Amino acid sequence: MVYTVYADVLWLVNFALDWVLLWAAGRFGGFVFRWPRSLLAAALGAFYGVGLLYPALAPLYIMPLPVFCSLLLLLVCFGRMPVRRFCWLTACFYILSFAMGGAALAVRALLGFGEAHGMSFIWLAPALLLAGVLAALGVGVWRRQVRQSGLIVRAELSFSGKSLAIPCFLDSGNRLRDPVSGRSVLLADFAAAADWLPPALSERLACELRIHGDGFRPQQILADLAPAPWSERLRLVPYRAVGSTGRLTLGFLPDDAVFYLADGRKIIPPQTPLMTFNAAGFGGISGARAIVAPEAVFGGQDMVGYDNIWEERLEA
């Protein structure tokens, strides 16, 4: 049996499939998708697919060259990125490729299409539809994650030659301040900072939090630890939890603080924030071990620029 294959039609089909795959992989994995780069990558992939018609080019289709070609398409479409991110992008691309291929073959078998029917948009359509559905599901999950992860900064605090790195959630509702100095307050999970604090303070806080929870009395701790050389770093901070009356909590002033944003930028705050501690942690905020007000990081200057870090990623 003789088959007639039109190279221009094959190019268009490959172009459409490659573009849909790239778009779906980008949306599913949470990557910025740019139209010019995606069209160029899809066109290159389509030309590679058409090359299969020419026997002289057969060596270009021996494994692992097709895999290298797919990686090249991803680089053209999405640009350079860290290795871990690129591995995730590649995984999304191949998961969707296999899903689309499986859907197309299943529909083809279900409808009784044999080899004589060749390529048909009737059985390609479900594959394209599946890619769209997976992309929509993926982007919904990713949008929720990026809105939260985009508001996570890494704080590096130092005291007496020791350094503590702690992920902080930027909480615009955190209005805690030291009434004397006006410093903002970083509320940290005690377990994350226990080994970094002075041993006497860490042991006393651990005991109080274990017995009284967040309702411990900081005045007695302040009096008992007054002889310590670092006691001038301790502060009493007015604090009011949701659904409770006002009370005092204990604050500790580090030597220095530096914040690192999600895009790698380093921010030196206008004032080193005070640290206070809670016993329960922050289970409702994925990846965070502390909360801090945006003003403590940016001083009210660059918050708009920081918002653009994740707003640009959401615009696609």
pLDDT tens-digit map of 20-30: 888 888 877 76
Query: Of 57-71, 108-122, 175-189, which range is least confident?
Result: 108-122
How far apart (Å, rounded) are the C-alpha atoms in residues 26 and 136? Answer: 11
pLDDT score of 146: 45
Residue with tokens 């004397």: 180
Cβ–Cβ < 8 Å for 296, 273: yes
pLDDT mean over 96-108: 65
pLDDT score of 302: 44
Query: Of 141-150, 209-218, 275-284, which range is least confident?
Result: 141-150
Sheet with 162-170: list strands edge to edge.
234-239, 247-252, 274-278, 185-189, 290-292, 162-170, 152-159, 256-260, 266-267
pLDDT for residue 196 is more than 90: yes
How far apart (Å, rounded) are the C-alpha atoms in residues 277 and 250? Answer: 8
Q: pLDDT digits over 21-55, tens only?
A: 888 888 777 677 787 888 898 888 888 878 877 77
Better pLDDT: 28 or 19: 19
How far apart (Å, rounded) are the C-alpha atoms in residues 44 and 56? Answer: 19
Show the tokens assigned to 65.
């060259």
Please state, for a pLDDT cut of 90, what percent of the chain lies above it: 10
Q: Give residue 245's pLDDT band: very low, low, confident or very high (50, 70, 90).
A: low
E strand spans, the chain = 152-159, 162-170, 185-189, 234-239, 247-252, 256-260, 266-267, 274-278, 290-292
* pTM score over 0.85: no
Written as one letter, the residue type at 27 is R
pLDDT score of 50: 80
Better pLDDT: 131 or 179: 179
Q: Where are the domains of the chain?
A: 7-144, 152-314
pLDDT mean over 136-162: 68
Please state, for a pLDDT cut of 70, what percent of the chain lies above it: 70
pLDDT for residue 291 is more than 70: yes
